[in-house]
Amino acid sequence: MKALVLHAPNTPFDLTEVPDPVAGPGEAVAKVYACGAGLTIQHFKAGRVPAVFPRVIGHEICAEIVEVGAGVRSLEVGDIVTSYFYLNCGHCRMCAGDFQPLCDNFGGYVGREIDGGYAEYIRLPERNFIRLPEGLDWQGQPAHVGVAMDALATPYKVLRHARIREGETVAVFGAGGGLGIHQVMMARWAGARVIAVDTKASKFEACRDAGADEVVDASAVEVVEALLELTGGAGVDAAVDYVSAKSTLEAGARALGKRGRLVTLGGAGEAFSLSARELLYKELAVLGSRYVTPTEIRETYDLMARGEVWPIVTEIRPMEEAEQLHELVENGEATGRAALRIA
């Protein structure tokens, strides 16, 4: 099969022939139609995150099961699937409680510890394939279907985790990014009033198109003051921070109103300060949101199948143009998500 192989960190893709994968016991093989090109895998490619080489990266797949190994019960040939990004054990207390991202025996990632979706076929453990619902138009837009396992599922999980309800005000920090813009969309879907916060004014039109009621240019104004002004001094109900730098987390916390929730996703993992008095007097909550559960992915695809939400994909390229696609991702030039069309 054709595969985009990375031989070492920070080197170009090698589009080459490799042996077709064969499903062992408890595994399945799927034919890949499209695979998302997000910043996470660009970090692998650029060598900012350690990975084992040679490696085929990619996990945001829309694929079709073509072979199941011995003992596989939940999948059949012909099933349309995406992948679950984390390699979890499936039996620890976290996995058993449907908190798979917190698995006690976490084994790494699809496309980092094992080969991923930048190839014509992908082999994964049975539990790393998630079957997509009937009625989803995967044939028409496989790239959109592939990226949704992260682009829409991650913001969907945040809505649940932070208990965001209709009529609340949500500030999204890093709203112009590939996940941020989908958080804007999903918060709007949930019936919230959405304020997009970003430093790149060029992204604001896309934020408004995705459903932002207001935008705050963090490069031009004082963010906390702006958010307080936009809420009549009350503060926001939730601040969802896709930048999660010390400065944005502190701004988000200070902009919260009574019963406000601050959500961090990723970032550099720095310590930040928070007033215990504010925490107490306003009954604030600080939450981390790590990836998603398989259930949250299935629920997200159900919303897509019902036509309620659909991701924004602005760059779709063939395998031959993977290198140029990753340059766009590296430079933050894609407004929505980027993806490779494989077949």
Q: Which of residues 64-103 bind Zn ion (CB under 5 A)?
A: 88-89, 92, 95, 103
Q: Which is nearer to Zn ion, 102 or 285 (by Cβ)?
A: 102
| Least separation in angstroms between CB 95 and Zn ion | 3
Nearer to Zn ion, 15 or 94 (CB): 94
- Nearer to Zn ion by Cβ, of 127 and 203: the residue is 127
Least CB distance from residue 246 to Zn ion, whole Å?
A: 31
Shortest approach of Zn ion to residue 23 CB, angstroms?
22
Between strands 169-173 and 236-241, the pairing is parallel
Query: Which tokens belong to 14?
Result: 């090698």
Cβ pair 173, 227 in contact under 8 A: no
Q: How far is the CB of 290 from Zn ion (least distance, A)?
A: 14
Separation of alpha carbons 67 and 75, rounded Å? 9
Beta bridge partners of 171: 195, 239
Q: Which is nearer to Zn ion, 92 or 245 (CB)?
A: 92
Query: Do the strands 27-36 and 61-68 form a parallel or antiparallel pair, or are they unpaired?
Result: antiparallel
Number of residues in contact with Zn ion under rule CB under 5 A: 5
- Toward Zn ion, which CB reaches closer, 91 or 246? 91
Question: What's the Cα-to-Cα distance from 191 to each of 178, 187, 259, rounded to whole Å?
Answer: 21, 7, 18
Q: Residue for token digits 């005000």?
A: 169
Write down the least CB distance from residue 91 to Zn ion, Å.
Answer: 6
Which x/- pattern, by CB under 5 A, does the window 99-138 give for Zn ion?
A: ----x-----------------------------------
Judged by CB, which is closer to Zn ion: 72, or 95?
95
**Shortest separation between residue 254's beta carbon and Zn ion, angstroms:** 37
Give the H/E segment covering residue 42.
helix 39-46
Q: What are phi and psi of 171, to 5 degrees?
A: -100, 130
The helix/strand/coil state of 36 is strand
Rounded Cα distance between 90 and 126, Å, is 11
Q: Site residues (CB under 5 A) for Zn ion?
A: 88-89, 92, 95, 103
